Structure 1
C-alpha cells in the first residue's frame, strides 16, 4: 500500500500542506519522498510535482518512491500488488519489477501501446502515475476492477491548466475531486498548451457473466453441485495463498512477542468466516490470526431500548457493545473456529467505539471517504475506519495472551470478504430479482452490482483503511477467482429455484440438519463453509455492516442513507 500525489501546473511546483503530507504518509509509513521535474516540449512548459509514501510488504528491501529513471528522467508512482505478470507469479519487490518494465517502454516507438501491453499483463490491484519524460506524456489509472484509490481534480483557476492526481483528496483540488474510473489508462500529452485527457482501454477487460439459462426440462438439485463446491474451495485457497504468504513481520513496542501478520475484518458472517477458515488451511499453523470485530455505542438504539425496558419494567441493561449483532455473531463464529481449527492461535479483537470517540474522528472519516458523501457512506466507512485501526480487547486461544487485555493488532494485511455478495447473490435485491423475473432477472442484477463495485466501494474503502498503514486485500476479487465465479451458471451460485418460495430474512441463526435447508443466498459459499466444518457460520444471515456494527442512524431523527453529510467540497462521479 502506498500514497500517490502528482500535481501538474503551468504556474508552480507545489508543496503539500502539513495535513495533506500526514494523510499521504499514513498510507505508507515506511518511506516517503518528493520529486520535481519540468516538461518542456512543443513550446510549452509544465511543472510536475510528485510525492509518494510506501508501506513495504514485498521483497527484502523497501523501494522508496517516486521511482526516477536516471537515464531518461521518467517518474513512476505505484500503489499496488502485482501478484503475477503474464501468468507467472512475481516474487520480490513488485514496484521495482514493474518500474523497470515501464521505463523500458520509453524506448518503444509507440509508448502508449507498450504501456498498455505491460499493464494488461498484471494480475493484482493497483493505481499508478507514470511520467514518460522522453515523449512528455503523463499516464495514470487503476486496475480493471478499481481495487485501489485514485482521485483526480482540476485546479480552481481553470479546468485545463492545473491538475492533481492523488490517493486521497488534498487541499489543492478537493472541491472537484472525483474517482478515476476503471478499467482504463488515461494519458495527457504535455507538448500541448492545455491539459487534454485521452482514454486508453486496457487490452484485458473483466470477463462477462455467464448468461446461460436452464432448459425447460432441466431438473435442478436444491444445492449447487459437489464439483462446483470443490472448485470454489480450490480457487479461493489459491487466491488466499497469494495474499497471506511472505508477509514481513511487523512489531509494535510493548505488544505481543508473537506478532500477527494477517487479520480478518470479522463480523462473524458467512464471507469473512469462510476466509478465516481457509486461511487456516494455507497459512502455517504457528502464525496467529487476528479477527477484528467492531461494535459502536449507538445513542438511538440505547434510547429506544431504555424506553422498551421502562414499559416492561425491566431493570437489566444490555451491554451497548456485546449486544451488537456483529459482536454476537463474531463471538459465535470465533468459538466455532477454535473448535474446528484448534491448532492455531485465534485472537478475537473486540473493538468498542464510544459515540464520543466516533464524533472526535468524524471529520477525518468524512475527509477520507470524499468524494462519497452520504450518510450510508459514513456509516459504512466509520465501521471500516475503526476496525482497521485494530485497537480493542483481545480474547485469544493461546495461554500466552492475556484475556480481555488492551491490544493493537500488528497485522498490516487485512482480509475482506467484499465481492462475495456481488458475485454470489447475497443481497435482498438478488432474491427480489429472481422472484420478479427468474434467472434472467437475477443475472442482470448480479452483473449490475459487480460492474459498479469499483465506483461504489473499493476506492472509498481503500482511502479509509489505508489511513492506518494497513492494506486491505480481497480474495473474492482475485482475477482468476472472478473469472471462475462469473463463469458459473446462476443456479450454481444461489439456491433460488423455480417453484420454490424464497424465504424472508431470518433474525436468528438456526442451523439446519442438512445443507439443502440452508438459506438460498450465496448457497455455494454456504455449502463450502458447511463442508469445511463451519455449520453455524454457513447458516448465518446476510447483515449489512452498518446494521451489524450499529453505525446506522447514530444521530437519531429521520436520517436516510441517501442524505448528504456535511460537505467538504463539491463532488462528481467519473473522470
Structure 2
C-alpha cells in the first residue's frame, strides 16, 4: 500500500507545491509510513512541469522508495500488488519489477498488454519522458483508490492522488473511473494550454461492432463527470485493455427461472446445518463446491503469503512462537464471508503466527437502555442455538468506563461464536479476537479529525456508516482475552483481509431477493452484473482509503480475478437459490464450501450488513435513509458538532 500523488501543470511558471496542502500530504504519509520522497520534472522548452510524491508501505522485497526514476528520466508511482500475470520473485519488489517491464515497452500496445496481464489490485502514474506522456489509472475492479482534481481552465492543472481532503473551493476531487487507463500527451497539451485525456478502456473479447458501441458508452459515461474545459477522447487506434475476468454467465434453466409465491422469510425456522448436508450429497454440486473452495483457497494463500515477515535483527531468525506478532488481520463479524476467509487463512499463515480477528461494536446510551445484551443474545440463540454471552459482562471498558455488556451488538455475539468454531478447527493457532469498542463521543471525534476526509468524495449516510465501522475495525485498537483477563491490544497486522465481493457475486443482499421476486433470475442476473460493475465507485476506493489510513493494506480474496472468473462461469442457479430461506439460499455455494471446511453454525447465519451488525446505523439519527447525503461528512467546526 502506498500514498501516491502527481501534479501536472502546463505553465512552468506556477509554483507547483501550491496545488497541494499539508492536510493532503499528511493523509498520504499515513498510507505509506516506511519511505517518503518527492521529485519534480520541469520541461522548460515545452512549458510543463510534473511533481511526484511517493509514500511507501513496505510489504514485499527490499524497501523501494517512490517515485522511482531511471536513466532515461522515466518516473513511476505504483500502489499495487502483483499476484499473477507478471513474475515477482520472493526477494523482489513489485514496484521495481513493474518499472522494469514498463521501460521495455516501445508502444502503446505494449503498455496495454502489460497492464492487461496483471492479476491483483493496482493504481499507478507513469511518466514516459521520451514521448512526453503521462499514463495513469486503476485496476479493473478499482481495488486501489486514485482521485483526480482539475483546476480552472486558466490554470490547466491536474492533481492525482490516492487520497484527498475536503475543500471549500469550487474544484472538487472525484474518483478516477476504473473504466480503463488514461494518457495525457503533455507536449500537445502544453502547446494548446489545455488538458486533453485519451482513454484506453477495458473490454471483453467481443465482435468489432459491440466493441465500438462499448467504447462510445464508456466515453460518454466518463465525460459527463468531467469539467467542461477538459477534453476526453478515445484513442484513435481503438486499442483497449483486455478484461482480466470473463463475462457473467446468464444462462437460465426452465424451472430455475421461476419465483414461487411463497415468502421464504416465513420459513426460516426450518433452516439447520443439516440442510446444507443434503445439497452436498449431490455429486455435481459437491464437485463445484470443491472447485470453488480450491480457487478461493489459492486467492487467500496469495494474499497472506505475499508480504515480508520480520526476523530478529540479531539472529536473523523468526522469533519464538510466544513472541510472534500477527501479520494478517481479518475484518471479522463471525458471518459466513469472514469465517471462510479466516478458515482458509489458517491453512497458509505460518503455524506459530497469530491471526487477528478484528471485531467492531458501537455503543449509544439510548440503545443501551432500550436493548439489553441478554435480549439480543437470546434472539440470536433462538435462530442459531449459539451460547456466546460473555461471563463477567459487567466489566468496564478500559477507555470509556462503559460496561462491556453495552457493546454486545449482534456482530460481537456472532463473532465470539465464530471464534469458538475456528478454535475447534485449529486449537493450536493463536486467534486474537480483538474486541473494538467505540463510543458515540469517539466516533464523532475521529470522524471530524480524519474519517470524513477518507470517505470523501463519497457522501451518503451509508458511506458514513460503513466507512466509520471499517476505519475503527482496521485500526485494530481494543482488547483481547488473555487467560480470562482483558488485555489492551493494538493489532500490528499490515494486511487486512476483507470479505467484500461475496454478496455482490452471490446474491447476498436483501435487495437481491426483492429483485428476484419481481423479475426472476433474468432480473437477478442483470442486478449482479450491475453490482460488480459499480463496485469500484461504490465501495472499493472508499475502503482502500479507510484501511490504508492506518498504514495497512486491504486485500480482497473474493475479488481475485480467478475467483471472479470461476463464479462468473457458473449459472446463477449454481451459486444461489433465493427460493430457499435466508441463511441458506443467498451465497449457497459459499455456505456449502464453509460446511466442507468444517464450519458449523456460522454456515447458516443470514446476511447482516456491517452497519447493522455493529449497531452504527441509526446511532446518531433514526430518521435518515442510507442514500441520503450525510450532513456529518461535510466540513464542520468542532463547535458545530
Please, what TM-score do these two structures have when normalized by structure 2? 0.78
Partner of 2:161: 166
Do the aligned residues in 2 keep the contact of 1:152 with 1:177 (CA within 8 Å)? yes
Deviations 1:464-484 (A, max 9, x none): 110000001001111111100
Any idea what the Cα deviations from partners look like across 1:236-279, whole Å, max 9, x if unmatched?
11101110114223599xxx822111110101100000010111
Q: Please name the residue that 1:24 is paired with.
A: 28
Classify the secondary structure of the residue corresponding to 2:144.
Answer: coil
Structural mapping, 1:419-458, within 5 Å: 419-458=501-540
Q: Cα RMSD between the aligned structures?
A: 2.6
Q: Do the aligned residues in 2 keep the contact of 1:160 with 1:195 (CA within 8 Å)? A: no
Kindly indicate whether the alpha-carbon contact (under 8 Å) linking 1:20 and 1:171 is maintained by their aligned counterparts in 2: no
**Helix, strand or coil for the counterpart of 1:34?**
strand
Q: Which blocks of at least 5 consecutive residues in structure 2 are unaligned?
A: 203-240, 259-277, 313-321, 376-392, 395-402, 636-641
Structure 2: how far apart are the matches of 1:416 and 1:391?
17
Q: In structure 2, do the counterparts of structure 1 residues 303 and 158 end up closer, same or farther at CA, with 3 Å as the change threshold?
A: farther
CA-CA distance at 1:207 after TM superposition? 2.0
Match of 1:268 in 2: 334
Question: Which one of 40, 43, 59 corresponds to residue 39 of structure 1?
Answer: 43
Question: Are residues 1:556 and 2:621 paired?
Answer: yes
Aligned pair 1:67/2:105, yes or no?
no
User: Measured at CA, do residues 447 and 164 of structure 1 come closer, stay the same or move farther in structure 2, by a change above 3 Å?
Assistant: same
**Which residues of 2 match residues 488-527 of structure 1 at below 5 A?**
488-496=570-578, 501-503=579-581, 505=582, 519-527=584-592
Q: 1:514: which partner in 2?
A: none
More helix by share: 2
Number of the residue aligned with 1:102: 102
Q: Which residue of structure 2 aligns with residue 122 of structure 1?
A: 118
Superimposed CA distance per residue, residues 50-81 of structure 1 (whole angstroms, 9 cap, x where no aligned partner): 1010001011x100000111x22111000000
CA deviations 1:416-458 (Å, max 9, x no partner) are 1000001111011222222223221221111111111111000
Cα distance between partner residues in 1 of 2:311 and 2:440:
30
In the aligned structure 2, how far is the partner of 1:554 from the partner of 1:561? Answer: 13
Distance in 1 separating the partners of 2:311 and 2:404: 33
Kept in 1: contact 2:43–2:49 (CA 8 A):
yes
Matched-pair contact (CA < 8 Å) for 1:367–1:568:
no
Question: Separation in 1 of the partners of 2:89 and 2:337?
Answer: 27
Partners of 1:273 and 1:194 in 2: how far apart?
52
1:175 is displaced (CA, Å) by: 4.2
Choose the corresponding residue for 2:461, options 337, 357, 375.
375
Which residue is equivalent to 1:312? none
Secondary structure, aligned partner of 1:225: helix
- Distance, in Å, in 1 between the alignment partners of 2:422 and 2:408 is 21
Q: Secondary structure at the match of 1:209?
A: coil
Q: Write the distance in 1 (CA, Å) between the matches of 2:65 and 2:567.
A: 37
Match of 1:189 in 2: 185
Regions of 4+ moved over 6 Å: 171-174
**Counterpart in the other structure of 2:350:** 284
CA distance in structure 2 between the aligned counterparts of 1:354 and 1:251, rounded to whole angstroms: 37
C-alpha distance 321-245 of structure 1, shift in aligned 2 (>3 A): farther
Distance in structure 2 (CA, Å) of the matches to 1:420 and 1:80: 22
TM-score, L = length of structure 1: 0.87
Stretch of structure 1 that moved more, 17-26 or 421-430: 17-26
> CA offset at residue 299 of structure 1?
4.0
Equivalent residue, structure 1, for 2:212: none
229-238 vs 292-301, which moves further: 292-301
Does residue 13 in structure 1 map to residue 4 in structure 2? no
Distance 1:216 1:530 in 2: 27
Spell out the pairing of 1:246-325 with structure 2 (5 A cutoff).
246-249=306-309, 257-305=323-371, 319=404, 321-325=406-410
